[in-house]
Structures are given as structure tokens and as C-alpha cells.
């Protein structure tokens, strides 16, 4: 019977102490390499995973969103760093926000009329100013004193005390808003046709010869009204004071109308001392006085009808072209119009008469330029 030999088992490791050390070091190095690679690759793996999640699962373009956020952050940073420059860009980019011409400077361009009803509250004022700018107007005319003698703002001129009842306009605000919209504000003032001031201060009015009462341009029962006297120094000074007042409120251009005598004439008109000057010479003296007083500070325009300019009229003692007017507004009657040729010919005639700048106000032709 065969004998089984007992197999001897050895439990001794085949690794020597030195080999164990090398193995441990290798494992440590491997773990370190894995950790370093993982640390370097982790952001890219997370970014890929996140992008995949938003793009595939949430159907969003994360990269576009990130670019938008980055752009917004950059813009915000720039605005914080340079707020003044940013404000200038926004102001310049708004329609009609170009700055108006420097004070008193005359520029080429069309004229528009700002309705006084629209100027009574700020919201409608701003809307009307934007509309004029969008229509291409360069100038905006607003009536501050009408031919009925009403001064439409609370004037502080002493002689205007009786003319400001119900005055509601704010000339400073109006001028500011117009300039914000790139428009040149023009204050329109009626001059000698002023029954209220004539009654307030009789020294400024045309008197009735031989009587203590005032001359009227029609029967009192028919609504006749007194006029300011073009020969009166007080009347000329009063109008000049109003010009200075509106200029202080931001109006560097003023359009004067009714710089004339009444159309009705008779021997009962008492003008006081005339100094030997006829009507034309007196109006020319009044215009020269205003021009001299406001030289360099206010640009004065004078409005006359087409008939007063071309045919002459007793209201101005002849032709308005003989009054020394430099800046003239020719007002074409509503039932008339002028074609380009007629305007060009008249412009040449006016230039030869000493008129430096002419504006034609022709409603029928849709022209105020």
C-alpha cells in the first residue's frame, strides 16, 4: 500500500523587506498621479457634464447664457468705472436729443409752432417738443404775449401787472425742454398792439386829441381797443423789459410782431411829441433801440405781413424793408401762397434792402423756413 507523503507548506513571503518598500512607494506614487490627474481634469469633466445636462435634458444653451452674463458683467463694470461717459452715450443716442445751437446763434432750418395749450403741463410739453423735433424743426416758436395784451406767464415787469391774470406758462421750463430736444426756443411777443398795458399805464398809450380818454381803433360799442404808442419811450422800454425777462428765462431768440401803428387812422390820434419823425422813422428808431440794447445777447426777429414787405402800408409808414430790420419773418396771408421762384426773388430783394436773414411763414404751402 502506497504511503502518502505529507506536503510541506511554506508561509514565508517571496518579497524581501526591500521589495515591500518599493511596492509601497509605487502605490503611493500611483495614487498621487491619479489624484493630480483627477484634480486637473475635474473642471473640464464637470463643465462637460453640466453643459450636457442643460443642453440635452433642459434644452438650454449654457454657453450662450454664459456669454450674455459675461457681457452684462463687463458692461456693468464699464458703467461703474465711467458713469459720465456712459450717460453721454445714452443722451446722444436718443432721437432729438442733439444739443440746441449756442445762445443767439442763427442756424438754417425750419420753424415750428408750439401750441400754448400743450405747454401748460410738463408731460404734454415734452410730447409736443419731441413731435416738433421728429418733424425736423430747428426752431420752436411759443407765444408768451399775445395781441390781446395777455402775458401768458407771471411776469415781474412792473408795467405788466395788469396783463398776467390767469398766466400759467413756465418759460424757463419750456425753454429747457425745447433745448433738451435740440430745438432753438423762440419767444413771440406782440409789441404795440396791447390794449391791456395801454389801459394800465396811459402814458404808454395813444391818446385822443383834446380829450382825457384813450384813442380806440374802433367804436367802443364795436369792441374798439387802445394801442401802445410807438412814440412813447415808456412803451418802448416796457417791450424791451419783457425781451430781457424772457431772455433771462432761456429764450435767446425773440420774435416781435405788431411793431407798427394801428391800421385805422384819423386826426384824433394823439401821439404826443414826435420829434419830427414820421411813422417809418419812428419804428426804425424803436427797432434800433431794441437791437442796440440786446446786441450780442438776444437775436431779435421782426414779423411783418407779405403786403407790408412788398407793397408797403400806412401801418409801417411805407415798406417794412425800410425799417432797418436785419432778421425778418415774412408772414404770408392764409389765402395766399408763394412758389419757390417768388420766394427766391423776394429773398434777393430783401437782401438788397439790408435784410440779412428772411424766414417765410406760408401756411398754405406748409412752409415756415
Tell me which residue range forms the domain holding 22: 17-92
Q: Is residue 331 a part of any domain in this protein?
A: yes
Backbone region of residue 45 per phi and psi (left: phi > 0; alpha: psi in -120 to 50; beta: other values): alpha
- Domains in the chain, number: 2
Same domain as 227, residue 81: no
pLDDT at 59: 41
Residues composing the chain: 369
pLDDT score recorded for residue 55:
40
Residues 334 and 277 in one domain: yes
DSSP code per residue over 154-209: ----GGGGGG-TT----HHHHHHHHHHTT-EEEEEEE-S--HHHHHH-GGGBPEET
The residue among 358, 323, 328 whose CA lies nearest residue 343 is: 358
Query: Position of cell 473642471?
Result: 43
168 and 312 co-located in one domain: yes
Same domain, 182 and 325: yes
- 297 belongs to a structural domain: yes
Helical H segments across the chain, by residue range: 17-52, 62-81, 83-93, 122-134, 171-180, 195-200, 233-248, 279-293, 306-310, 340-352
42 and 85 part of one domain: yes
What pLDDT, on a 0 to 100 scale, did the predictor assign at position 46?
44
CA pair distance 368, 139, nearest whole angstrom: 10
- Are 274 and 162 in the same domain? yes
Instruction: Determine the pLDDT at residue 34.
Output: 59
How high is the pLDDT of residue 16? 55
Main-chain dihedrals φ then ψ at residue 270, nearest 5 degrees: -110, 110
Domain boundary among 57, 92, 127: 92
Residue 99 lies in a domain: no
Which backbone phi and psi does 300 adopt, to 5 degrees? -100, 130
Instruction: Examine the domain organization and report whether 121 and 22 are in the same domain.
Output: no
Of 69, 92, 115, the one marking the end of a domain is 92
Q: Is 357 helix (H, G, I), strand (E, B) or coil?
A: strand
Please tell me the predicted confidence (pLDDT) of residue 277. Answer: 97
Contact by Cβ (8 Å): 246, 187: yes
| Terminal Cα-to-Cα distance of the chain (whole angstroms) | 141
Do 166 and 25 sit in the same domain of this protein? no
CATH number at residue 351: 3.20.20.80
In a domain, 12, yes or no: no
| Mean per-residue pLDDT pooled into runs of 10, the chain (369 residues) | 46 51 65 58 48 40 37 33 29 42 77 95 97 96 98 97 94 98 98 97 96 94 96 98 98 98 92 96 98 97 97 96 97 92 96 96 89
| pTM of the predicted structure, to 2 decimals | 0.73
Amino acid at each position: 500500500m502506497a504511503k502518502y507523503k505529507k506536503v510541506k507548506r511554506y508561509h514565508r513571503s517571496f518579497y524581501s523587506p526591500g521589495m515591500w518598500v518599493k511596492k509601497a512607494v509605487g502605490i503611493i506614487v500611483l495614487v498621487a498621479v491619479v489624484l493630480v490627474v483627477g484634480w486637473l481634469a475635474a473642471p473640464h469633466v464637470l463643465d462637460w457634464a453640466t453643459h450636457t445636462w442643460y443642453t440635452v435634458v433642459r434644452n438650454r444653451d449654457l454657453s450662450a447664457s454664459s456669454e450674455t452674463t459675461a457681457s452684462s458683467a463687463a458692461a456693468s463694470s464699464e458703467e461703474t468705472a465711467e458713469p459720465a461717459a456712459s450717460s453721454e452715450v445714452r443722451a446722444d443716442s436718443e432721437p432729438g436729443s442733439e444739443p440746441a445751437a449756442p445762445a443767439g446763434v442763427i442756424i438754417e432750418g425750419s420753424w415750428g409752432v408750439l401750441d400754448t395749450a400743450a405747454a401748460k403741463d410738463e408731460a404734454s410739453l415734452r410730447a409736443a417738443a419731441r413731435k416738433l423735433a421728429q418733424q425736423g424743426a430747428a426752431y420752436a416758436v411759443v407765444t408768451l404775449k399775445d395781441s390781446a395784451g395777455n402775458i401768458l406767464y407771471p411776469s415781474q415787469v412792473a408795467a405788466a401787472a395788469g396783463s398776467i391774470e390767469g398766466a400759467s406758462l413756465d418759460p424757463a421750463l419750456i425753454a429747457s425742454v425745447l433745448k433738451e430736444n435740440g430745438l432753438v426756443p423762440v419767444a413771440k411777443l406782440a409789441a404795440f398792439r396791447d390794449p391791456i398795458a395801454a389801459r394800465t399805464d396811459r402814458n404808454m398809450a395813444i391818446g385822443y386829441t383834446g380829450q382825457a380818454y384813450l384813442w380806440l381803433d374802433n367804436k367802443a360799442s364795436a369792441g374798439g381797443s387802445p394801442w401802445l404808442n410807438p412814440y412813447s419811450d415808456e412803451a418802448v422800454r416796457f417791450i424791451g423789459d419783457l425781451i430781457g425777462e424772457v431772455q433771462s428765462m432761456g429764450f435767446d431768440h425773440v420774435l416781435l410782431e405788431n411793431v407798427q401803428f394801428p391800421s385805422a387812422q384819423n386826426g384824433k390820434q394823439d401821439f404826443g411829441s414826435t420829434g419830427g419823425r414820421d411813422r417809418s422813422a419812428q419804428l426804425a428808431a424803436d427797432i434800433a433801440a431794441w437791437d442796440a440794447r440786446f446786441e450780442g445777447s438776444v437775436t431779435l426777429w421782426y414779423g411783418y405781413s407779405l403786403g407790408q414787405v412788398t407793397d408797403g402800408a400806412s401801418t409801417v409808414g411805407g415798406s417794412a424793408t425800410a425799417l432797418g430790420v436785419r432778421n425778418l419773418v415774412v408772414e404770408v396771408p392764409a389765402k395766399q401762397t408763394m412758389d419757390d421762384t417768388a420766394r427766391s426773388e423776394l429773398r434777393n430783394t430783401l437782401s438788397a434792402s439790408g435784410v440779412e436773414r428772411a424766414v417765410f411763414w406760408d401756411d398754405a404751402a406748409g412752409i415756415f423756413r
